[in-house]
Amino acid sequence: MTPTRVVEPDGLGEKTRVLDAAKTGSAEIESLRELWAMQCNEALERAGQTARVDHRSYERQGAEVVPGVHLGPHSTAVERKAAHQAEQEGREYEPRTYRARANADAAEKNGIAKALRQIIESAEQAIAKVQQAAEDLMDWFADLADEVGRDAIEQKERAERERQKAAAERLAQERREAQERAEREARRKKETEERNLRPRPRRGR
């Protein structure tokens, strides 16, 4: 609360209509709020606190925060009584009034949004570190190429290609051998079945 009278050397003077006029009221209130925020921040800085006060709305600040609503004296009294009763009964306090429930819902949404922002920031930091590591690795490869020369790199690439070729040939040979074993086993089973199907000669009495 602030007086609406002009402050003069001898005390309060005539009432001012600056706050009442439509043309000057909003600008004057904005100026008072800005001055109050500045004084609060100066006091916080002197106290060594990192918190700061901003008189602007969340929308004007560009902050993704769900604003709360002013409870007022009646809702405040109801909520204080409900909180006191819940504490005496040993149960969790639950908001009673519409405004208090709206504030609780806004606080929950802001908590979720804050957690998501922290997750996104952590992910962005991790991605930045990975990108930096990749750039450092590419720089290292470039330096290595300059040091050992292109011939050494090509020699390593040829050796790698030969190693892969040899591995592919071994794999193909193993597949052929496995197929041959499977075919032999199939023929053996077939011959066994054919022998079992042949009629056996009868023995004389």
173 occurs within a structural domain: no
Domain coverage including residue 40: 1-55
User: What pLDDT does residue 198 have?
Assistant: 64
8 occurs within a structural domain: yes
Burial of 103 by CB count in 10 Å (0-12 exposed, 13-18 middle, 19+ buried)?
buried
26 occurs within a structural domain: yes
74 occurs within a structural domain: no
User: What pLDDT does residue 47 have?
Assistant: 93
Full pLDDT tens readout for the chain, 205 residues: 667 777 788 888 777 777 766 677 778 788 888 999 999 999 999 999 988 888 888 778 877 777 888 888 888 899 889 889 988 989 888 888 888 888 888 888 888 878 877 888 888 888 888 888 888 888 888 877 777 666 777 777 888 888 888 888 888 888 888 888 887 777 777 777 667 666 666 665 5
What the block records as the tokens of 187 is: 């023929």
- Cα–Cα dist 67/107, whole Å: 9
| Cβ(55)–Cβ(37) below 8 Å | yes
User: What pLDDT does residue 26 have?
Assistant: 79
115 occurs within a structural domain: no
Other beta carbons less than 10 A from residue 79's beta carbon: 20
Q: Distance of alpha carbon 35 from its chain centroid, rounded? A: 36
Total number of domains in the chain: 1
